[in-house]
Amino acid sequence: MTLNCLIVDDEPLALDLLEEYIGRTPFLTLAGRSNSGAEALRILGGGGIDLLFLDIQMPHLSGIELSEMIGQRPRVIFTTAFEQYALEGFRVDALDYLLKPISYAEFLRSAGRALQWFEKDEAFRAGRKSAVSPSPRSIIVKADYKQLQIALDEILYIEGVGDYVKIHTVDGTRPVITQMSMKTAEERLPADRFVRVHRSYIVNMDRIRTIERGRIVFGKEYIPVSDSHKERFAELLKLRSLG
């Protein structure tokens, strides 16, 4: 399930930060950004927004006033620099509120709560059922002058080697080598199942069984988790255990 998000804040740096956080979160898609409540109303009028990250203190039309105008759709997560506004936010039935400055860990926890709410909402699921394309079950790559179809369930991890990637599978045979960048591989794989943990490695979250001393263990192979990917990987592991 992917939630379409709109971020609304009169501070450009706050908009940039939330846009970055949404881009790092597999189940969120940025549908738009706005620096005013009036502009946000126009965007919301077009429909298609599930989740609103909304600043409370804005000139002319506050976040509280905007949320009262739109009702229960979309659902709202308030962002504010002042904790005293939290109770006022919950008065209009917000899903959550985030206190600035917002860390990615706090953002992801709040987004995870929103995802759980939408997963339990029958009307939302019914509306999305026919609109959402089924998740791909395989990828097709060129290797050894042939086109090979590889089931996603069979992939353990993908290793980047220069202009090529090695696709390591559960059967333990020789990895499939294909000319592809890690960026392309990352884009072709479902973001809710495959995560980049290192400059040279993408792992299948469904196949992780053991993590030892900060490394992912696949048989005799140890996959490092780099510092730049460690926070996101840890939060995604926690998110899978929610509920």
What integer pLDDT is reported at residue 130 of this predicted model? 47
| Stronger pLDDT, 92 or 195, i.e. the higher one | 195
DSSP code string of 180-221? --HHHHHHHS-TTTEEEEETTEEEEGGG--EEETTEEEETTE
What CATH superfamily classification does 3-129 receive? Response regulator (3.40.50.2300)
pLDDT digits (tens, 9 = 90+) for 83-101: 665 555 455 678 888 999 9
Mean pLDDT of 119-144: 69
52: DSSP letter:
E
- Mean pLDDT score of the chain: 86
Give the rounded percent of residues in the chain with a pLDDT score beyond 90. 48
Task: Name residue 191's amino acid.
Answer: A
What integer pLDDT is reported at residue 35 of this predicted model? 94
Q: Where are the domains of the chain?
A: 3-129, 138-240
pLDDT digits (tens, 9 = 90+) for 24-39: 999 999 999 999 988 8
Pick the CATH number of 138-240 from 2.40.30.10, 1.10.287.70, 3.40.50.1370, 2.40.50.1020: 2.40.50.1020
